[in-house]
Amino acid sequence: MSDNDTDQRAERLAELREKFGRHPVEPKKPFHQGASLRDRQPRFCALESGHRACQGCGEALAARLVMECAGPDVMVANATGCLEVFTTPWPQSAWQVPWVHSLFENSAAVASGMEAAMKARGKNTKILAFGGDGGTYDIGFQALSGMLERYHNILYVCYDNEAYMNTGIQRSSSTPHAASTTTSPAGPERMGKRHLKKDLLGIIAAHHIPYSASASVAYPADLQRKVRYAMGINGPTFLVVHSPCPLGWKHDSHLTIEVARRAVECGLFPIVEMERGELANVMPIREVRPVKDYLALQGRFGHLMKPDDPRAVEELTHLQALADYNITYFNLRGEGEDPADTVGISQVARDRAAGEA
Amino acid sequence: MVVINRGAHAEPGTSLEFKTGNWRSSECPVHVHAKAPCHAACPAGEDQQAWFAWLQEGHVEEAWRELVSKNPLPSVTGRVCPHPCETACNRTSIDSALAIHNVERWLGDEAVAKGWAYPVEAPAEDAPCVAIVGAGPGGLSAAYHCLRNGLRAEIFEALPEAGGLLRSAIPPTRLPRPALDAELNRLLALPGIKLNLRCKLGRDVGLDELKHSHAAVILAPGCGLSKEWNIDGAVPTDLHEGLHLLREFMDHGEFPEARRVAVHGGGNTAIDLCRLMKRHGVEQVTLITASALPGPDTDPEDLINVVPRELEEALEEGIEIIEHATVKRLIMKGSRMTGVEIVALKKLLGTDGRMHRVQFEGTERVVSVDMVIPCIGERVDPEGMHNLMNRWHYLDARDRWSRTPQENVHAIGDARGDRGTVAEAIGDGRLAVEAVAARLQGRADPVEDTRPEMPASGLNPVYFGRISRTAVPKLPVAERTFEAEIEGDIGRMAALREATRCLSCGNCLACDNCWVMCPDNAVIKTAELASDGSHYVFDLDFCKGCGICAKECPTGFIQMAEDTWHEGD
């Protein structure tokens, strides 16, 4: 090959690169190494500010809390859903760790591949798989089941906001009984969703994986303890986090934590831990609330707040019965005061070290 | 030519550049250090929340220093104060109020025992000097606050000892003299306070003279005379007035002979007198009061004006109290009294829009007693201050700084007529001196604290568990004497435990809730104190105004306010 040919090829290559390739860019300064207050936060921030989540988004909060204690050496496979949409609008990203957007149904499968690849390269990087309740309870369920069955070393976190919020509040199999959504509207025919919320943890338990648990954004300390525990396990682990959606549940944005807390306190969302499919631990409720306290804050249950309507009363009583069933089934009443129960775990006190110079 | 296509320009960007986009509400969170209700209710102006915060951190001396920045006599008020702070405490909405009163006493005693130095410096040699008439709680507080404001103080006291009514009218069972002396002597030993004893206004020194020789005059004479009392013009031949009897008893330890006594009145002097007489051996002591005893439906306006625990103790000791009644007639056998006729009475709103005491005909009954003691209140001894008296026989103080019509003359404490507690006198002393200091610096008024008060509804009680109130040790009725203090010390452990019950109303306790629960990561934690005294700053670039931080703030320190953020701030 002549020199001329070589020159021509190099020229053509340069031309193509100019047209289609990536421009060489200055390497961006890594985040969190500057001198500003934001850069010196005493926690690992993998999900940065500036994402497009709605005001008071429970899922954004839950994801940040999970990432904080999952630590820097992780990679994330994220199913399609709110979390994926609001964190990564082109060309920006709120993630500060390697992050892959999978399809709606296959984040568990993509994560399995990532885990296998890391294993092949001899790396210990932990793989996280994220999905909403739609991507977990419904669409991605067989991929999740396969991942658990193949025993991949992955922590799967389901952010449960109890409907397809990203596409416009359609009911999912996680939507609670009697909740009104765009595809299960309350009206003359039905009082919201006809069916029950799927007992996903029960199905996960049947896989006999090392660890699975439920948590709530209302109890960050409990949630983070569970993430840390799961990160230490070599094998499939599963966490479902109750994350209110102000838009879909129709409550004020400042009530996100309050709504999540009442869901736990009334018994409708039991906080439990399972090891090898056996119930290992529960968060006891110190003062059990009636479910009405929880439902009354949310527009999606507004149709139940009519004491004169016998159908509303029936469904309200039904939900109370479901909560009572959970309380009995998981023995959520506890025995006496417990520092890890719903009241004990929330308590605050002045930090004695705060006043030290 | 540069060809733009998507692939070529998909440079990695960070969402930090996006800020909140168009997601903003009209509100943003702000830190508001509202007044804790205990602070707002304290007549002496103490910030109980602030000193409990020091206790929570285990800094006992700092707590005391914070406390005495307003009230120099915690050992005294911790024994005699009716503690409106506890009545106001927001903790009542969770379980029961903090034992602020008892912790205050423990702190005061601790300071005396350990000899902690008052947070004052000696004033300059040529500093202006304020004349203070009366060495009661008001006068002593004024003298102390002179030092805190860089002034010197000269006190003129008519009696041979300082203390005012603390010494003359409060029984040692409530305020043991060693405790009183210890705290008083430490205060009076401060450099810059000069005390002239046996120096009476009008006799040894004149008001005009003081106005001339000093930068300002603060009158704190207290109320030395009993109000005049008679029943339709009749008085028993051997009339003893309550305050006088109490003083006599403090000096000599004797009461006049009597088997059955009726005390007419409804204040702390009346209750003290009843209890002392009962303990002295009087068979039957009856208090006749126009006010009401505390009950579930009692109107606070109508309630008997007595420290609640004193009332409780009096009832324990067997004092009979007849509420809503007054003495209508004295029943005499010759010059000897055999009984009083009493009649039911209530304060009712009249057609003229004012409260009137209405007696109800047909409710008269006779209580047989051989002595009746009026205890209906005190008035100012006007000697040397005649032209400052108002028509109710009190000194004419006109504003919260106790200014009188005469320039540079303030009248504080009981002598104002609208005060009635030691704590109010202590608060008056501080405010009057602040006004004097402001004037000397050329300002019209001292800076007022206009912060709002934090109501219980502003807190998030979810974050506070129930902790029972510390029980205060008390002498059993059978062991009560004239000297032994009835209420006991709660001690260090109980005081520190009690401090953990403080809800820190309106002030940051660094719980991290806002930092942990912000979905947008817009709360930033600082290792140092932020400018507003908390450990957090809001990064409004990223705040969408959801309000979670304000809702989940346990103490109400975060509130939502109008969003003032502008692009590029």
- What is the complex's ipTM, to 2 decimals? 0.89
Which of A35-44, A245-254, B268-277, B473-482 shows the lowest mean pLDDT across its residues?
A: A35-44
CB atoms B510 and A350 under 8 Å? yes
What is the tally of helices (H) and strands (E) in chain A? 12, 9
Yes or no, beta carbons of B518 and A41 under 8 Å apart: no
d(CA B312, CA B293): 10
**Between residues A81 and A29, which one has the greater pLDDT?**
A81
Instruction: Choose the closest CB to B519 out of A50, A56, A347.
Output: A56
Q: What are A287-318's pLDDT values in tens digits?
A: 999 999 999 999 999 999 999 999 999 999 99
CATH number at residue A224: 3.40.50.970
How far does B323 lie from chain A, in Å, by closest CA?
42
Share of chain B above pLDDT 90, in %: 68
Q: How near does any CA of chain A get to the CA of B90, in Å?
A: 16
Contact residues on chain A for B18, CB-CB shorter than 8 A: 50-52, 89, 92
Positive or negative: CA dihedral B37, B40, B43, B47: positive
A56–B546 C-beta distance less than 8 A: yes
- Residue B9 pLDDT: 42
Closest partner residue to B545 (CB to CB) among A41, A55, A64 is A55
Q: What is the DSSP string of A265-325?
A: HHTSS--EEEETTEEEEE---SSPPPHHHHHTT-GGGGGG--TT-HHHHHHHHHHHHHHHH
Q: Is residue A47 part of a domain?
A: no
Would residue B447 count as lying in a domain? no
Q: Nearest chain B residue to A347 by CA: give it.
A: B463
Residue numbers in B near A347 (CB within 8 A): 463-465
The model's pLDDT over A207-256, given as tens digits with 9 standing for 90+, comes to 999 999 999 999 999 999 999 999 999 999 999 999 999 999 999 999 99
> What are the chain B neighbours of A252 within 8 Å (beta carbons)?
547
Query: B261 and B220 in one domain?
Result: no
* Amino acid in position B231: I
Cβ distance B10 to A90 less than 8 Å, yes or no, reads yes
- Residue A37 forms part of a structural domain: no
Nearest-Cα residue of chain B relative to residue A60: B519
Query: Would the CB atoms of B7 and A31 count as touching at under 8 Å?
Result: no
**C-alpha–C-alpha distance, residues B266 and B377, integer Å:** 9
Can you give the pLDDT at residue A356? 42
% residues pLDDT > 90 (chain A): 81
Residue B407 sits in a domain whose CATH number is 3.50.50.60
Whether the model clears a pTM of 0.90, i.e. scores above it, the answer is no
- Encoding tokens for residue B168? 């003359």
- Nearest one of B295, B279, B135 to B201, comparing CA atoms: B135
Q: Do B510 and A351 touch (CB under 8 A)?
A: yes
* H or E stretch at B213: helix B207-213
Residue B4 lies in a domain: no
pLDDT of residue A1 exceeding 70: no
Chain A residues with beta carbon closer than 8 angstroms to that of B551: 254-255, 257-258
Check A49 against B59: CB less than 8 A apart: no
Q: Which domain holds residue B181?
A: 129-225+390-440
B568 inside domain: no
Band of residue A27 on the pLDDT scale cut at 50, 70, 90 = low
Q: Which helix (H) or strand (E) is A19 found in, with range?
A: helix A3-20
CA distance A138 to A131: 11
Residues B82 and B146 in one domain: no
The verdict on whether omega for the bond into residue A91 sits within 30 degrees of 0, i.e. cis, is: yes
In a domain, A32, yes or no: no
Q: Do B463 and A21 touch (CB under 8 A)?
A: no
Of the candidates A254, A348, A355, which has its C-beta nearest B513's C-beta? Answer: A348
Q: What is the pLDDT of residues B523-569, one digit of tens each?
A: 999 877 766 778 899 999 999 999 999 999 999 999 999 988 877 65
Distance CA B432, CA B396 (A): 14
> Predicted confidence band at B169 (pLDDT cuts at 50, 70, 90)?
confident
To test the contact with chain A by mutation, choose from B22, B498, B536, B546 the residue with the greatest count of A C-beta atoms within 10 A, namely B546
A349 within domain boundaries: no
CA distance B463 to B460: 6
Q: Do A254 and B551 touch (CB under 8 A)?
A: yes
Shared-domain flag, residues B191 and B333: no
Quick one: B197 and B64 in the same domain? no
Phi, psi (degrees; rounded to nearest 5) at A135: -75, -10
Residue of B nearest to A19 (CA): B3
CATH of the domain at B547: 3.30.70.20
CB contact under 8 A, B17 and A92: yes
What value does the mean pLDDT take over residues A74-97?
92
Structure tokens at B140: 């002593």
Asked whether the beta carbons of residue B5 and residue A20 sit closer than 8 angstroms, the reply is yes
Within 8 A of B27 by CB-CB distance, chain A residues are: none
- Substitution target from B4, B9, B11, B14 for chain A, most A beta carbons within 10 A: B14
Beta carbons of B521 and A49 less than 8 Å apart: yes
Residue A113's φ and ψ, nearest 5 degrees, are -65, -40
Residues of chain B found within 8 Å of residue A20, distances taken between Cβ atoms: 5, 7-8
Question: Across the A/B interface, how many CB contacts are shorter than 8 Å?
Answer: 169
* DSSP letter for each residue of A197-236: PP-HHHHHHTTT-SEEEEEETT-HHHHHHHHHHHHT-SS-
- Across the interface, whether the CB atoms of A346 and B546 are under 8 A apart is answered no
**Same-domain check for residues B239 and B331:** yes
**How far off is chain B from A58, nearest CA to CA, in Å?**
7
Which residues are paired to B395 by β-bridges? B389
Look at A348 and B520 and tell me if their CB atoms are within 8 Å. Answer: no
Which pLDDT belongs to residue A26?
63
- How many structural domains comprise chain B? 4
DSSP secondary structure letter of residue B3:
P
A303 within a domain of the structure (yes/no) = yes
Sequence-ordered strand ranges (E) for B84-144: 129-133
Mean pLDDT across A160-170: 96
Number of domains within chain A:
1
Residues of A in contact with B459 (CB under 8 A): none
Q: Is the pLDDT of residue B7 over 50?
A: no
Q: How far is A60 from chain B (nearest CA, A)?
A: 5
Cα atoms in the Cβ-side hemisphere of radius 13 Å centred on B409: 22
The minimal CB distance from A45 to the residues B9, B521, B537 is found for B521
Co-location of B106 and B133 in the same domain: no
> Cβ–Cβ of A64/B521 closer than 8 Å?
yes
Amino acid at A289: R
User: Residue B203 falls within a domain, yes or no?
Assistant: yes
Of A92, A253, A344, Cβ closest to residue B18: A92
Which DSSP state fits B459? S
CA angle B144, B145, B148 (to 5 degrees): 100
- The minimal CB distance from A254 to the residues B16, B465, B546 is found for B546
From chain A, pick out residues whose CB is under 8 angstroms from the CB of B516: 65, 220
Q: Do A64 and B519 touch (CB under 8 A)?
A: yes
Domain that holds residue A175: 55-344
Taking the CB of residue B545, how many other CB atoms lie within 10 A of it? 23
Summarised one tens digit per residue, pLDDT across range B201-239 is 999 999 999 999 999 999 999 998 888 888 888 888 888
The shortest CB-CB distance from A50 to any of B516, B542, B552 is to: B542
Question: Regarding predicted confidence, which is higher, B535 or B9?
Answer: B535
Give the pLDDT band of residue A269 (cuts 50, 70, 90).
very high
* Closest approach of A282 to chain B, Cα-based (Å): 20
Short-list A180, A181, A216, A174, CA closest to A196? A174
* Cβ–Cβ gap A52/B18 under 8 Å: yes
- Chain B residues within an 8 Å CB radius of A23: 8, 11
- Inter-chain touch A349–B509, beta carbons under 8 Å: yes
Strands (E), B24-103: 27-31
Q: How far is A14 from chain B (nearest CA, A)?
A: 13
Same domain, yes or no: B265 and B353: yes
Residues A111-128: pLDDT tens digits?
999 999 999 999 999 999
Structure confidence at residue A34 as a pLDDT band (50, 70, 90): low
Contact B8 A54 (CB under 8 A): no
Please indicate, yes or no, if residue B546 is contained in any of the structural domains: yes
Kindly state whether residues B303 and B167 are assigned to the same domain: no
B102/B123 Cα distance (integer angstroms)? 33
Confidence of residue B10 (pLDDT cuts 50, 70, 90): very low
B525, closest residue in chain A (CA to CA): A41
Residues of B whose CB is below 8 A from A66: none
Whether residue A31 is predicted with pLDDT greater than 80 in this model: the reply is no
Chain B residue nearest residue A353, CA to CA: B57
Q: Which of A318, A43, A342, A335 is nearest to A179 (CA)?
A: A318
- Mean pLDDT taken over chain B: 91
Mutation to test the B interface, candidates A348, A351, A352, most B Cβ within 10 Å: A348
Pick A346's closest partner by Cβ from B5, B462, B525: B462
| Residue where a domain stops, chosen among B333, B349, B379 | B379
pLDDT of residue A357: 37
b/e burial code for range A275-311 (CB count within 10 A of at least 16 → b): bebeeeebbbbbebbbbbebbebbebbebbeeeeeee
